[in-house]
Amino acid sequence: MTPPASPPAPFGARLRQAMDRRGPLCVGIDPHPELLAAWGLEDDASGLARFTDTVVAALADRVAVFKPQSAFYERHGSRGVAVLERAVADARSAGALVLLDVKRGDIGSTVTAYAGAYFGAGAPLRCDAVTLTPYLGYESLRPALERARADGAGAFVLARTSNPEGAEPQTARTASGRPLAQAVLDRLARENAGAEPWGSFGAVVGATNLDSSLELTINGPLLAPGLGAQGATAEDLPRVFGAALGQVLPSASRSVLREGPSEAGLRAAAEREAVALARVLG
């Protein structure tokens, strides 16, 4: 008789282990047309594949997390999505966690369908976590959160993002008088209550965020985009995150990717970022 399968380890625990082992760096894979051109590649599915395969081959055995931006693959249609599907599988096989940047947010059967694409055995883009947007109502995300939990996966929910346009909805006040970003953080803290060493449901809080009034301690990870091209540096992180600094997963994209197509150049750039972050984060 076949013994029952063990439940998957929670994403929060796996992320903490990966960061302890490989360092506190998430590398975004954002194949902008400008980056493809800088690498001498055509802006088509073939160029996309060469770019992505090079990044994965150079870094998947050494960085804690990859964050592919799904939009840059979807724009190439089915061939682009096929590149993404292969990259997710290859990166995970090499030991990197994959946080798929899709920023999905919908209701009912639609968000359930999105969750089926990313979580569970047989999911075509099965990954370790995704980004979600809560602005159709936090509870609209419940099917995705529960599917992730059952699969040992996670999610990062947009709270206070690095883009300046985000301030308008994210600083708006709820009926209770709380900023909407804080209401999202409070809900995530409840999702993660009692989890060790971390819960599996994180928040997206930009490294350019200057809102010191937010309570960021959610017993889960804080994805911090905005390093490099958007102007933030490792030295900004203590000021932005304060007492929650130990929960931060910093994300860098162009500052690493522009050093391609040399695999050695990509590895050296990722190492520089990781060393700078380790000095600040410990």
Active site positions, annotated: 103
Largest CA distance in the chain: 58
Within 10 A of 9 (CB to CB), how many other CB atoms are there? 11
Looking at residue 197, what DSSP letter applies? S
How many Cα atoms occupy the beta-carbon half-sphere of 210 within 13 Å? Answer: 4
CA dist 172 to 160, 187, 277, Å? 11, 16, 32
Place of tokens 């900004």: 236
- CA torsion 192-227-259-14 (nearest 10°) is -10
Instruction: State the burial class of residue 3 (Cβ atoms within 10 Å of its Cβ: 0-12, 13-18, 19+).
Output: exposed
CA distance 113 to 195: 27
Cα R_g (the chain), whole angstroms: 18
Judge whether 30 and 253 are in contact, CB under 8 Å. yes
